[in-house]
Amino acid sequence: MKNLILILSLTFCTQIFGQKYVVTPNGLRDEKDLEKTYLVLETGSLTAKQLYDNAIKYINEKYKNPEEVIKGKTDSEFLKFETYVPDFLLYNNSGVKIPIQATFTTELRFKDGKVKYEIISLEMKAKSGNYQVLFSGGLFEGYIIYKKNGKLFKKETKADIENYFDTYVVGLLEYLKGENKSNNW
């Protein structure tokens, strides 16, 4: 039941916001244009300054040590920050569920009415061991999503990554637009 509600809410949100990532053998790509590694988030009539300020507020509220996660910034133009997710997903390796943690760097670029959102680095590692989740590779190179020939190998892992980033983008966009629920007290 929870999964059904999650799927329905993601479908609803992606129809409203229209931007989502898709996992390809070459990494995360814009579903509508697979050449793009970024999404353009429409934010209505908000200025670049308002969007930048809301992004800073988002990081200050959502991250334990905001000063440490911010890796670069230029007022009203650019913001780069790092996110660590200890329980990113479970990779099914021949019936054994391997816990995967992730670290990714997000880059935001601001213009009036829109934000360029891009994951510029993404590392997905097993909590125990040296193996990583790879978008594409050979069976003995790591935990792969696609085989070297481009054939999808782990449909569930692909869906888990897409769902994570779709949910993340929707939450961030709501916050950037000033629609965050935490201020309703």
Residue 11: give the domain boundaries.
2-175
Coil/strand/helix, residue 50: helix
Residue 184 maps to a domain: no
| Non-local CB neighbours of 171 within 8 Å, separated by 6+ positions | none
What burial letters (b/e) apply to 111-148, b meaning 16+ CB within 10 Å? eeebbebbbeebebbbeeeebbbbbbbeeeebbbbbee
Adjacent-strand bridge partners of 107: 80, 118
Assess whether pLDDT exceeds 70 at residue 79. yes
Per-residue model confidence (pLDDT) at position 4: 39
Query: pLDDT tens digits for 18-60?
Result: 689 999 999 999 999 999 999 999 999 999 999 999 999 999 9
Q: What's the length of the chain?
A: 185
CATH of the domain at 72: 3.30.530
- How many structural domains comprise the chain? 1
Adjacent-strand bridge partners of 133: 143
Query: pLDDT tens digits for 107-153?
Result: 999 999 999 999 999 999 999 878 999 999 998 899 999 999 999 99
Residue 161 maps to a domain: yes
Per-residue model confidence (pLDDT) at position 130: 81
Percent of the chain residues past pLDDT 70, beyond the cut: 87
Q: What average pLDDT does the chain have?
A: 89
Assess whether pLDDT exceeds 60 at residue 14. no
